Chain A
């Protein structure tokens, strides 16, 4: 009985020590993950800045006209189409759209 009590106390002590050691170990792991998160966050921010710079309208317009040889649409080439909710009636499968006629939007380059 006495032996069991001693073993119990030693076990409790070992458990306590193990718990303390494990807390410190988990603490290091948490800090490691935090550092990793910060690094990934920085990488994400860097990529966001790059995406934002690459999608600047000025750069896109320049690339479209100079690299791809695109030109602004000529009068009449832009047609606005607005889709209207398709009618639920059976027998008319075509959805209705509105097209603005004779639109002249873009100037000649």
Chain B
């Protein structure tokens, strides 16, 4: 064999090896790209893509002037990976300092034989930043939405609260949960070899939509005024609690709905349902003499009585079905108007007898008692108005005095508003509009008439009588200087749960009314539950009405009298509203 042959032979061997190598590579390529293509493609997608379920941010809740009452914020939740911790007790100590929880509790979690444990969910952003600076091994954070109620306990019973997973559990949060809740959507992210996100799959893919925002009819300032005055009264009288409602009588829009005691929806853990229940809509009580307003309305509407009709008040004492009815003031002959002004029980019983049970029942139902007002809040009670066939021998007189009947504070506010606005029973509401994440209007609530129980003439006549109840009757402490006030006091004895009879010590003091009487802008209901001492509606609840009305009227700029015409001096500046922008250099215009 020559050297040339040997060289050629080596080239052939090399070529064969190379060809075999290429063939092997091509074969593998065909195997991977053709035969196993589908399976490998799925595996690659799994490694490069990450599908995550994302929920849009929960919508905010605003008051009627756009002040934030509830909103969501992304905050860190802290988790641990116990398997990757070398020194659980040291890490637990560091975490405890930042999170202000016991180190032994955290250590217990970190010593579990699990791959993942929650250490603290939805902590303050500042705590999250401190943890980030510590950079502890085996400890991480993920961002979650947390509900904040920046005004604390303000309006807590109406707002309600949302749970840990963002679901509405009480109040507006619950009723409007389908609107407030953000859209849930699964999105696919592309990851590189280091696990970094490159692009969402498909450039047009959008994130989930945020929840809608809800605007209330409530005004946070009037709400504050109502809560403060109620709290002061409850504290002063050592009462069990109380409620105040402020409503626009012409529309049914609720401006304030205050309850005492209050709670902070930011920390509801450990509180019982009794504490957060919205008692304005859920609890019915025997209203006492405030029901005489509707008795009077029925009597005037039926023309059974006129303001000057005379009634024998029997010197403040009358026996009905074996029980004696007493009056606070003894009198013989009084007019129908005086009977309401002085809150005579004897006269009320006699007026009811003139009307009859069927007629009185019909008017009570017409004013909305015994049925839900259909307010947009959860858990509303219908109250209790028995059918006349279920009435006992004393029931007619009892109902006339506000006993043997159960009404909610909201029903009372709604019914008094009907007296104030010319006879129209409006549907009360607390949400005025719903807007989507881009600010587009989704739903708008407009005032809704339910029915008309009385005519405008009866409304006017009754209004005059109710003004008398404030100027010359039991409600004198509700009078607001400079304004005409119409209203009625009520003092209802409560049933003693031990004896089952009316208790001489337990009572509910109330005042319901509206102002200005000649052009009603505010209906206010003030109820104090179990006040101690001089526990009359006129002494306990009427002053709440006055103080709330005084401040709310000023705040709303509702003037009591005919404006005085004046001209400003030439250099006077007009500010953005009332007050500092205006210099007091004014001169009278003839």
* Residues of chain A at the chain B interface (Cβ within 8 Å): 24, 27-28, 30-31, 38, 41-42, 45-46, 48-50, 52-53, 55-58, 61, 75, 78, 80-83, 93-107
Contact = CB atoms under 8 A, between A and B. Distances in A.
Contacts of A98: 563-566
Given A97-B566, A99-B563, A53 B151 contact: yes
B141 to A, nearest CB: 13
B560 A42 contact: no
Contact of A57 (B143, B221, B570): B221
A28 B198 contact: yes
B582 to A, nearest CB: 5
Interface in B533-586: 546-547, 550-551, 553-554, 557, 559-561, 563-570, 574, 578, 582, 586
B559 A94 contact: no
Nearest to A58: B224
Q: 7 closest pairs, A vs B, by CB?
A: A98-B563, A52-B150, A57-B224, A105-B554, A53-B150, A100-B559, A104-B481
Given A28-B196, A95-B568, A97-B568, A49 B563 contact: no
A80 B557 contact: yes
B299 interface: no
Contacts of B574: 83, 95, 97
Contacts of A93: 570
Given A96-B568, A96-B589, A103-B482, 14 more contacts: A27-B190, A49-B148, A49-B150, A56-B151, A56-B224, A80-B578, A83-B574, A94-B568, A94-B570, A96-B566, A96-B567, A101-B561, A104-B481, A105-B553
Nearest to B143: A42
A61 B224 CA distance: 10
B186 interface: no
B151 A52 contact: yes
B145 to A, nearest CB: 10
B67 interface: yes
Interface in B78-122: none
A12 B377 CA distance: 67
A100 B221 contact: no
B224 A52 contact: no
Contact of B199 (A30, A78, A83, A97): A30
B566 to A, nearest CB: 5
B152 A106 contact: no
Contacts of B582: 81
Contacts of A24: 192, 198
B154 A31 contact: no
B325 interface: no
Contacts of B68: 48-49, 52
Contact of B578 (A50, A52, A81): A81
Nearest to B578: A80
Task: Tell me which of A30, A55, A99 has the highest count of chain B C-beta atoms within 10 A of its own C-beta.
Answer: A99
A28 B193 CA distance: 13
B557 to A, nearest CB: 6
Interface residues of B, number: 48
Nearest to B229: A107
Interface string B112-148: 0000000000000100000000000000000100001
A99 B586 contact: yes
B568 A49 contact: no
B220 interface: yes
Interface in B489-544: none
A41 B138 CA distance: 28
A57 B546 CA distance: 20
B224 A46 contact: no
Given A94-B568, A96-B567, A102 B561 contact: yes
Contact of A75 (B154, B481, B564, B569): B481
Contact of B560 (A38, A96, A100): A100
A24 to B, nearest CB: 7
26 contacts: A24-B192, A27-B190, A31-B198, A42-B143, A45-B72, A49-B68, A53-B151, A56-B151, A57-B220, A58-B154, A81-B586, A83-B574, A95-B567, A98-B563, A98-B564, A98-B565, A100-B559, A101-B561, A101-B563, A102-B561, A103-B482, A103-B559, A105-B553, A105-B554, A106-B554, A107-B550
B197 interface: yes
B74 interface: yes
A21 B155 CA distance: 56
A24 B190 CA distance: 11
Contacts of B553: 105
Nearest to B569: A94
B71 interface: yes
B449 interface: no
B555 to A, nearest CB: 9
Contacts of B25: none
Contact of B152 (A45, A56, A83, A100): A56
B213 to A, nearest CB: 13
B566 A99 contact: yes
B26 interface: no
B554 A96 contact: no
A107 B125 contact: no
B497 to A, nearest CB: 35
Nearest to A96: B567
A102 B73 contact: no
Nearest to A31: B197
Contacts of A100: 559-561, 563-564
Interface in B199-257: 199, 220-221, 224, 228
Contact of A107 (B67, B198, B199, B547): B547
Contacts of B196: 28, 31
Nearest to B577: A81
Contacts of B150: 49-50, 52-53, 56
A45 B64 CA distance: 20
